[in-house]
């Protein structure tokens, strides 16, 4: 990074320049003050000399006196001779004595008079200059010390991160290369922490899923094995009974297949392994496709599925996974409705949300069950076809990942599951 793009470096350079300017200003002001003092002393000496000469030599006219003094100030090598030619020897000597008395020496009077003051001014200027340089050195030393402290801090942070300690506050609001490095390190730390959390969560989800799958498959697997054992042990079984046993074994196997697939889907959702598409799709098409996939199940129970409400509604999301959620809800409604019942699907759209309500007659759902029904593997004894409490939790997880929510309401002998997608 260019040091002139570094705000901290700019700040240090500005302070250094400011110190130099202030030092130069102080020295300039001091010099002006010293020159003023010296000019005042010179003027005082000249005025005193003029006054005394006027008192002692009233015969000397003012023009001649001023000319003589000007010659003294401008060129003392010639003024002495001119004074001697103009006045008598005694007067000229007395004038020379007066000049010497007031520090007005021939050739070097100005230097002799000003030398002490100039020396003092120069010494003061040197002192101020040294102070300014000392200030600059102190500022630069503090700057280097601060950078070393921050580098040591970054080194410590990296050592702690390498040890798996991610509870560090690395955010820095300044804008230099170290701050940028610190903020980048913070981002890396957050990424590593998220990766570690995901890995731990994935392992936990996998372990829990394996345990849940083994537990939930135990009942249908045992039932299927009993049916098959009966078929094997009774070769002379009545054909009608045999067909019944085979159908039941097939149903249990199909149930196990559905549970395995559903639990794997739920596990993938929990592990964050599924990315949902964000595409616009037809809600009518999704509902029709889901209802068609459950026609056989509804027909076996003599049920009908009626679809009503708003038409032509379009949603933005993942068609396949939203269909999966809807199918699980509709399947649950069919399984928990009596034979010959009517299951209603109603679509509502307004300026706030789009809702899909699935209503079925059946055993009322208590308030306690409403709070528990979306909890996975919830074992309410509502029906023999409870499917191990997988379908509704899976539907809820999918809907929530699609920025919606799933609710249930039971009233007047009907149970209604409602999906709402907020706009």
Q: How far apart are CA 304 and CA 342, in angstroms?
A: 5
Kindly report which listed range (36-40, 43-47, 78-82) carries the lowest average pLDDT score: 78-82
Instruction: Name the phi and psi angles at 30, rounded to 5.
Output: -65, -40
Q: How far apart are CA 333 and CA 346, in angstroms?
A: 14
How does DSSP assign 158-201, residue by residue? HHHHHTT---------S-SHHHHHHHHHHHHHHHHHHHHHHHHH
The whole-chain average pLDDT of the chain stands at 75
| Furthest CA-CA distance within the chain | 171
101 confidence band (pLDDT: 50, 70, 90): low
Kindly report which listed range (8-22, 92-106, 149-163, 407-421) carries the lowest average pLDDT score: 92-106
Q: What is the pLDDT of residue 291?
A: 94
Q: What is the pLDDT of residue 112?
A: 40
Q: What is the pLDDT of residue 381?
A: 46
At which residue do the structure tokens 């697939």 appear? 261
Q: How far apart are CA 329 and CA 391, in angstroms?
A: 7
Q: Is the pLDDT of residue 114 over 50?
A: no
Of the candidates 257, 276, 290, the one whose C-alpha atom is nearest the C-alpha of residue 358 is: 290
Q: How far apart are the first and last CA of the chain?
A: 45
Q: What is the pLDDT of residue 166?
A: 56
Question: Residue 176's CB: how many other CB atoms inside 10 A?
Answer: 20
The string of pLDDT tens digits covering residues 278-292 is: 999 999 999 999 999
Kindly report which listed range (254-258, 278-282, 316-320) carries the lowest average pLDDT score: 254-258
CA distances from 153 to 25, 178, 188, 197 (A): 40, 11, 16, 25
Mean pLDDT of 57-80: 56
At which residue do the structure tokens 């409490």 appear? 389
Kindly report which listed range (4-8, 70-74, 108-112) carries the lowest average pLDDT score: 108-112
Q: How far apart are CA 80 and CA 190, in angstroms?
A: 92
Mean pLDDT of 215-242: 82
Instruction: Name the phi and psi angles at 274, rounded to 5.
Output: -110, 130
Of the candidates 255, 403, 260, 399, the one whose C-alpha atom is nearest the C-alpha of residue 417 is: 399
Specify whether the CB–CB gap between 360 and 337 falls below 8 A.
yes
4 confidence band (pLDDT: 50, 70, 90): very low
Q: What is the pLDDT of residue 323?
A: 93
228: buried, middle or exposed (CB in 10 Å: 19+, 13-18, 0-12)?
Answer: middle
Helix (H, G, I), strand (E, B) or coil at 346: strand
Length of the chain in terms of residues written: 423
Say which residue, 263 or 331, is predicted with more confidence.
331
Helix (H, G, I), strand (E, B) or coil at 280: strand
368: buried, middle or exposed (CB in 10 Å: 19+, 13-18, 0-12)?
Answer: exposed
**Which of the listed CATH numbers 3.30.465.10, 3.30.565.10, 3.20.20.140, 4.10.520.10 matches domain 275-422?**
3.30.565.10
Kindly report which listed range (67-76, 224-233, 250-259, 351-360) carries the lowest average pLDDT score: 67-76
Q: Domain-by-domain residue ranges, the chain?
A: 3-156, 198-267, 275-422
* CB burial readout 282-312, b (16+ within 10 A) else e: ebbebbeebbeebeeebeeeebebeeebeee
Say which residue, 369 or 85, is predicted with more confidence.
369
Mean pLDDT of 324-345: 93
227 confidence band (pLDDT: 50, 70, 90): confident
Mean pLDDT of 120-140: 71
Kindly report which listed range (29-33, 65-69, 180-184) carries the lowest average pLDDT score: 65-69
Give the per-residue SS3 of 73-90. Answer: HHCHHHHHHHHHHHCCHH
Q: What is the pLDDT of residue 312?
A: 93
Q: Is the pLDDT of residue 51 over 70?
A: yes
420 confidence band (pLDDT: 50, 70, 90): very high
Determine if residue 403 is left, alpha or beta; phi over 0 gives left, psi from -120 to 50 gives alpha, anything else beta.
Answer: left
Highest mean pLDDT range out of 44-48, 273-277, 383-387? 273-277
Q: What is the pLDDT of residue 339?
A: 92
Highest mean pLDDT range out of 45-49, 229-233, 271-275? 229-233
CB-side exposure of 136: number of CA atoms within 13 Å? 16
Helix (H, G, I), strand (E, B) or coil at 227: helix
Q: What is the pLDDT of residue 386?
A: 46
The string of pLDDT tens digits covering residues 377-414 is: 665 544 444 455 678 988 999 999 888 999 999 988 89
The top-level CATH class assigned to 198-267 is: mainly alpha
Q: What is the pLDDT of residue 238?
A: 87
Tokens (6 digits) for 319: 């068609």
Q: Is the pLDDT of residue 76 over 60?
A: no
Please give the DSSP secondary-structure letter assigned to residue 237: -
Q: What is the pLDDT of residue 308?
A: 95
348 - beta bridge partners? Answer: 355
262 confidence band (pLDDT: 50, 70, 90): confident
Q: What is the pLDDT of residue 117?
A: 56
Q: What is the pLDDT of residue 12?
A: 66
């Amino acid at each position: 990074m260019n040091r002139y793009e570094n705000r901290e470096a700019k700040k240090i350079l500005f302070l250094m320049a400011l110190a130099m300017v202030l030092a130069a200003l102080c020295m300039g002001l001091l010099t002006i003050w010293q020159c003023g003092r010296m000019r005042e002393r010179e003027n005082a000496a000249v005025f005193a000399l003029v006054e005394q000469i006027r008192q002692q030599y009233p015969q000397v006219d003012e023009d001649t006196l001023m000319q003589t003094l000007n010659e003294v100030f401008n060129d003392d090598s010639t003024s002495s001779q001119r004074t001697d030619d103009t006045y008598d020897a005694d007067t000229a000597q007395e004038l020379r004595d007066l000049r010497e008395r007031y520090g007005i020496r021939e050739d070097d009077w100005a230097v002799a008079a000003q030398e002490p003051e100039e020396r003092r001014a120069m010494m003061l200027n040197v002192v101020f200059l040294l102070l300014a340089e000392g200030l600059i050195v102190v500022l630069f030393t503090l700057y280097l010390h601060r950078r070393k402290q921050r580098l040591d801090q970054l080194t410590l942070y990296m050592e702690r991160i390498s040890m798996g300690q991610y509870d560090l506050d690395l955010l820095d609001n300044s804008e230099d290369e170290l701050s940028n490095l610190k903020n980048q390190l913070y981002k890396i730390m957050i990424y590593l922490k998220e990766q570690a959390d995901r890995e731990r969560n994935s392992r936990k989800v996998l372990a829990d899923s394996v345990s849940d799958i083994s537990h939930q498959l135990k009942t249908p697997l045992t039932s299927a094995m009993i049916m098959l054992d009966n078929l094997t042990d009774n070769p002379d079984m009545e054909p009608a009974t045999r067909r019944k046993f085979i159908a039941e074994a097939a149903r249990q196997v199909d149930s196990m297949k559905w549970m395995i697939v559903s639990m794997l889907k739920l596990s993938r959702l929990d592990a964050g392994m599924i990315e949902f598409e964000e595409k616009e799709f037809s809600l009518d098409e999704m509902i029709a496709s889901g209802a068609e996939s459950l026609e056989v199940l509804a027909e076996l129970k003599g049920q009908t599925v009626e679809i009503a409400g708003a038409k032509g509604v379009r949603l933005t999301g993942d068609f396949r996974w939203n269909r999966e959620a809807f199918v699980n809800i509709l399947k649950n409604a069919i399984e928990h409705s009596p034979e010959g019942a009517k299951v209603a699907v109603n679509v509502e759209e307004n300026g706030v949300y789009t809702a899909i309500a699935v209503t079925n007659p059946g055993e009322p759902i208590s308030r306690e069950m409403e709070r528990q029904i979306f909890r996975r593997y919830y074992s309410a004894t509502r029906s023999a076809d409870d499917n191990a409490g997988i379908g509704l939790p899976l539907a809820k997880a999918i809907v929530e990942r699609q920025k919606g929510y799933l609710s249930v309401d039971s009233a007047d002998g009907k149970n209604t599951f409602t999906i709402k997608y907020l706009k």
